[in-house]
Structure 1
Amino acid sequence: MITRGRLLTTPAVLAGVLLATYLWIVNAPLDSIERNALDGGQVRLYLWQQVELTAVSTFFVLLLALPAGVLLTRGFARPAAPAAVVLANLGQATPAIGLLALLTFWLGIGARTALVAMVAYAVLPVLSNTMAGLRAIDPALLDAARGIGMSSPGVLTRVELPLAVPLILAGVRTALVLNVGTGTLASFAGGGGLGNLITAGITTQRTRVLVVGAVLTVCLALLVDWLASLAELRLSPKGLEVGR
Structure 2
Amino acid sequence: MQTIVWCIILIGVVFDIDGVLINSYNGIEYFYRRVLPQIIDIDQRLIDYLIELEYIGELTGLLREDWWFKYIPGLTEELYDKLITRYWEVRIENSKLEPGVINVLEYLANSGYRVFTVSYRDDIYGLKKYRIELMDLDKFFHEIIIVGEDFHDRVDGLKYLVKKYDLNKTFYIDDKPLNLLMIYIEMKQKPVLIHYRFKHNIEYPWINPEGYSSQ
- TM-score range with shorter-chain normalisation? under 0.3
Q: Hey, which of these two has a bigger chunk of helix by percent? A: 1
> Given the two structures, how large is their TM-score scaled by the length of structure 1?
0.25
